[in-house]
């Protein structure tokens, strides 16, 4: 458990450090209050979720720590995951450049409201983790895994991606960039590609998933798709 928590903490610090480096280098200055607030909100949300998993679901924490393109088992998912990482960092580069050159004029209240949406996105992710201890960071089906259709899974088939989508859409506004909103499109496409491929895998490998898809028709956005 000690090594697992250390690995999760190191991963969080590396992520926040990378985002901070990208943001402030592209902005050309640390005088970027939207970035400081966003990073604090992001880090706190991830830290609280990590602490919860460390206390109540260590198996899921272990599944979440093993992440990234190299951890994926299929080549197509390695490609999708790698592209998503590039698009994700690109979003922060554009937001930083926006802060440097003043392309956008986002009201401070809008940035703060967007940070609250980031918290809401993490909240959906947290509810997903509470409902499904098998919500791995990679596409797989464990030997003991059973179908989960309770909680947010009773509303949509991919609630974790829905939370991530909300978080990503709110991120550029939280960082004071209207221009950055357009940069979320490649990320949305990557999420859609990943969940469609995940459904292909689950239909073939998780008992009852086909019937579950018939019961819960919405993949990502309730009443839409």
pLDDT at residue 7, as a whole number: 85
Find the domain containing 166 and state its range: 2-215
> CA-CA distance, 101 to 85, in Å (whole number)?
25
Which CATH number covers residue 32? 1.20.120.1630
pLDDT at residue 71, as a whole number: 63
For residue 221, being part of any structural domain is answered with no
Per residue of the chain (225 residues), give pLDDT as tens.
578 878 888 888 999 999 999 999 999 999 999 999 999 999 999 999 999 998 998 888 888 876 666 667 777 788 888 888 899 999 999 999 999 999 999 999 999 999 999 999 999 999 999 999 888 777 778 888 889 999 999 999 999 999 999 999 999 999 999 999 998 999 999 999 999 999 999 999 999 999 999 999 999 999 899
What's the domain count of the chain? Answer: 1
Hey, what are 110's tokens?
Answer: 């809008």
For residue 201, being part of any structural domain is answered with yes
> Nearest to residue 206, comparing CAs of 156, 135, 123?
135
pLDDT at residue 208, as a whole number: 92
For residue 159, being part of any structural domain is answered with yes
For residue 162, being part of any structural domain is answered with yes
- Collect all residues with Cβ–Cβ distance below 8 Å to 26 and sequence separation of at least 6: 92, 93, 94, 95, 96, 97, 99, 100
For residue 220, being part of any structural domain is answered with no
For residue 224, being part of any structural domain is answered with no
For residue 225, being part of any structural domain is answered with no
For residue 126, being part of any structural domain is answered with yes
> CA-CA distance, 28 to 207, in Å (whole number)?
52
């Amino acid at each position: 458990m000690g090594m697992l928590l250390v690995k999760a903490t190191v991963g969080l610090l590396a992520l926040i450090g990378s985002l901070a480096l990208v943001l402030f280098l592209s902005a050309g200055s640390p005088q970027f209050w939207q970035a400081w607030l966003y990073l604090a909100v992001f880090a706190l949300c991830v830290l609280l979720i990590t602490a919860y998993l460390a206390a109540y679901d260590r198996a899921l924490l272990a599944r979440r720590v093993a992440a990234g393109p190299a951890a994926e088992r299929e080549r197509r998912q390695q490609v999708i995951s790698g592209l998503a990482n590039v698009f994700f960092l690109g979003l922060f580069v554009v937001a930083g450049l926006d802060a440097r050159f003043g392309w956008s004029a986002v009201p401070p209240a809008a940035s703060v409201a967007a940070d609250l949406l980031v918290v809401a996105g993490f909240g959906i992710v947290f509810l997903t983790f509470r409902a499904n201890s098998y919500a791995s960071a990679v596409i797989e089906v464990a030997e003991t895994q059973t179908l989960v259709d309770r909680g947010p899974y009773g509303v949509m088939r991919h609630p974790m991606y829905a939370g991530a989508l909300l978080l990503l859409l709110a991120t550029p506004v939280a960082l004071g960039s209207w221009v950055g909103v357009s940069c979320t499109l490649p990320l949305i496409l990557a999420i859609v590609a990943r969940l469609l491929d995940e459904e292909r895998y689950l239909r073939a490998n998780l008992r009852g998933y086909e019937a579950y898809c018939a019961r819960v028709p919405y993949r990502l956005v309730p009443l839409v798709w």
